[in-house]
Chain A
Amino acid sequence: MNPSALRELVPAVIGVLVRRGADFASAEDAVQEAVIRALETWSDDPSRGDPVRDPKAWLIATSWRRFLDAARAEESRRGREAVVAAEPPPGPGPAADDTLRLYFLCAHPSLTPASAVALTLRAVGGLTTQQIAAAYLVPEATMAQRISRAKRRIAGQSLDRAGDPATVLRVLYLVFNEGYGGDVDLAAEAIRLTRQLAALTDEPEVAGLLALMLLHHARRDARTDADGRLVPLAEQDRRRWDTGLIAEGVEILQTALARDRLGEYQAQAAIAALHADAPAPAETDWPQIVEWYDELLRLTGSPVVQLNRAVAVGEADGPRAGLAALGEVDPGLPRHTAASAYLHERAGEIGRAADLYAEAARSATSVPERDHLIRRAARLRGS
């Protein structure tokens, strides 16, 4: 059994333990320990077969035993009688509901985004603390504490209640944007978790986020060149886009849009789909992209959307119109200077554009973006 198939069992197994009477925090710890044990002892060699015939039953039995041991140790520490029954009460129930509720619990609004992300990756994603710590470049002890604190914070929250899907989607989108980290492909993991969520719910925005992720993921290979340099959309080799993922993303999006309950992820996915649909940059349907940005702005009121809209206006109606639209955007926004540089370049004001690119590079918050802006400035100054 491969590690990802093992991970998929985790939320359902936590659900089983909780229905047998375990509290979420202890159940989650017990399942994590069982997963680590399985990863250590199960063979990767398929010819040797799985050491257990029914991995799910093994995980349930092992984690339940761990839970009982921990509960008994805790009780004897406190000098009390065991209150946990050795024989689990029967508690069958739909595993799908358990998994869905775990998504809501792990993205609970009382948690900080970083805690919600960590808890979701462990309890819903089935990743180990070590993997999550490596992905986010923090020590394992720090990540372990972050997760236990998150669990203490939501202690007492019932697993029976559904929450706001928007909080779950935000957490999944954060994971997606983290990309690669350590030995875990977080973007692929986010897609897996969103796909699973989409299968459990009937919410068009979940489908919208899944479509958005697939459409972005389809361009991942083309987004950097062989030397790791960032390649802007207009310069990407479109033959390197994954047409299978694009087709799937577009189909999911169309089904969602047909439900006529528009939300921000569907609108963002629509913009990504219009980019994906153009065989060459010049064939991009910019007027329609601007319309989607108007929709997105109406839905979110976000200044970042306003900024991106100004760049799209620059493509649809010319750089002067774009600069006019940018004039209405808060100049303190990150990437405002970079957008201004780009529009000035398009308007033929090369010297001004080079200065703006250089200025934008100084305030960039990521290394690939800074390097890209420095190269733009250097290229314009050398021309």
Chain B
Amino acid sequence: MKYLLLKHYRGGPEPVVDYETIDHWSPDEVDAHMRYMSDFASKLEATGEFVDAQALAPEGTFVRYDGEGRPPVTDGPFAETKDLVAGWMVIDVESHERALELAGELSAAPGPGGEPIHEWLELRPFMSNKAETAE
């Protein structure tokens, strides 16, 4: 089963640890955080559970169709957008319990002072593209 681990800059439940955003951390703290993330991905590759990981730039643009022959309308970026996706990891695991376990582990990435940041991660199952054989 594939799951998306969604990392938010903002949004989601109230943070449990009050810490400065990463641009205020010391270079060593930033390095330790990044190393934790990449070690986590390597570990999952070794267990045969890693599918993909991507980070997203914090600023994005909203785009929509504006009628035939017209260029699309853009809006944003919005400094105050409530929910902002920072990136994701996709895993392929045996069970929902395993997905929860891994998400918990990823949420323990170190922040200021090397302490776990207890970040909320959103866990979403992928929908399969296969129809059930049973009729």
Task: Name A's B-contacting residues (CB within 8 A).
Answer: 112-115, 118, 136-139, 141-143, 145-147, 149, 176-179, 216, 219, 223-224, 230, 232-233, 275, 304, 308, 364-370, 372
Contacts and interface: CB of A to CB of B under 8 A. Distances in A.
Interface of B: 2, 44-52, 92, 94, 125, 127-135
B92 A142 contact: yes
Contacts of A367: 127-129
Of listed A142, A232, A233, residue having the most chain B CB within 10 A? A142
B129 A142 contact: no
12 contacts: A114-B94, A138-B50, A142-B48, A143-B48, A145-B48, A149-B47, A177-B130, A232-B135, A366-B129, A366-B131, A367-B128, A368-B129
Nearest to B94: A112
A148 to B, nearest CB: 8
B133 A177 contact: yes
Given A114-B94, A233-B135, A366 B51 contact: no
A366 B128 CA distance: 4
A368 B132 CA distance: 9
A224 B131 CA distance: 10
B127 A366 contact: yes
DSSP class of B's interface residues: helix, strand, loop or mixed? loop
Contacts of A223: 131, 135
A146 B46 CA distance: 8
A230 B94 contact: no
Contacts of B127: 364-367, 370
B131 A365 contact: no
A223 B2 CA distance: 25
A136 B49 CA distance: 12
Contacts of B49: 142
B132 to A, nearest CB: 7
Contacts of B130: 177-179, 366, 368
Contacts of A372: 131
A114 B93 CA distance: 9
Contacts of B92: 114, 136, 138, 142
Nearest to B46: A145
B51 A138 contact: yes
Given A138-B92, A364-B127, A149 B48 contact: yes
B45 A142 contact: yes
Contacts of B50: 138-139, 141-142
Nearest to B48: A146
Contacts of A368: 129-131
